[in-house]
Structure 1
Amino acid sequence: MGLLAVAGTTFAEDAKPQAKSWQSGLHRTDLIQRDLGVSDREVVQVRVDFEPGVVSPKHSHPGVEIAYVISGTFEYQLEGQPNVILKAGDSLYIPEGTVHVATNIGSTTGSELATYIVKKNAPLVIISK
């Protein structure tokens, strides 16, 4: 592989742009968190914005998630199920404890509205290894 020097910076000629990390390319806006009237459950709703190409970490939730795509195109990988592609206006039900990954496969920022019915006092997101 050849190298190219430009203004003091070295680039590999055939290098591809690095995918943006989920830590810097995924933005969460908390919208609501309320008790459900059931002793151990609450509802949490968040808006999640993914920059192009961003992949969420492999994770699960201590309850169900309903994902509604506001804009963009996402590929969801749910453990034990075939991958599914959703576009604006589509929804997906993710059962409690199901390990999953969401990827913005579009060329612009994509957004989803995530509604969780989860156990109270538990972490909302459980990162898998």
Structure 2
Amino acid sequence: MTEQKLFAQPEATGWTELAPGNTRRVLIHTPELMQVEFGFDKGAVGAPHSHPHIQVSYVAEGSFEVTIDGKTEVVGQGGSFIVPSGLVHGVVALEKGRLVDVFTPMRQDFV
């Protein structure tokens, strides 16, 4: 049996470029849960998409225009939003920023 990773240091995980101005790094995960950090330059877009995972996001830095299931709201630093399974959602970075997302179950496509 593989030993479960219990701690994660940010410098131990590299960033993956997803699109211009949009990066991602998986911080830590179990089969049931995953924490991921996303970095955005001002104006960068997290294109509309959906997935079967439940997602909760925390705005660690910056301000984002967030659209979930056709509803749009600006969420700033310290704010959060939740995306139920299957809903189309996306973001636009109104300034340089970072999101910390948690998914359940883990995103197998991210590892």
Q: Deviations over 1:91-120 (max 9, x none)?
A: 1011011111111012xx200100001267
Q: 1:100, 1:75 → 2: CA distance?
A: 11
- Structure 2 distance, partners of 1:118, 1:24, is 28
Please report how far the alpha carbon of residue 57 of structure 1 lies from its aligned counterpart in structure 2 after TM superposition.
1.4
1:51 to 2:41 alignment: yes
Q: Give me the whole-angstrom Cα distance separating, in 1, the residues matched to 2:48 and 2:90.
A: 5
Aligned residue identity for 1:45: Q
Question: Which residue of structure 2 lines up, in the alignment, with residue 91 of structure 1?
Answer: 80
Q: Give the 3-state SS of the residue equivalent to 2:19 in structure 1.
A: helix
Alpha-carbon distance in 1 for matches of 2:30, 2:106 = 12
Match of 1:5 in 2: none
Q: Which amino acid aligns with 1:24?
A: P
Aligned counterpart in structure 2 of residue 23 of structure 1, from 19, 22, 32:
19
| Equivalent residue number for residue 99 of structure 2 | 112
Structure showing greater radius of gyration is 1
Opposite residue 101 of structure 2, the aligned amino acid is A
Kindly tell me the number of residue pairs found equivalent between the two proteins: 93
Provide the C-alpha distance between the structure 2 equivalents of 1:71 and 1:120, rounded to a whole number of angstroms: 23
Give distance in 2, aligned partners of 1:34 and 1:116: 10
Match of 2:15 in 1: none
Q: Distance in 1 between matches of 2:88 and 2:27?
A: 23
Please show how residues 36-75 of structure 1 align to structure 2 within 5 Å: 42-75=32-65
Identity of paired residues, percent? 29
TM-score by length of 1: 0.66
**Structure 2: unaligned runs, 5 residues or longer:** 1-17
CA distance in 1, matches of 2:102, 2:47: 18
TM-score normalised according to structure 2 size: 0.76
SS of residue matched to 2:45: coil
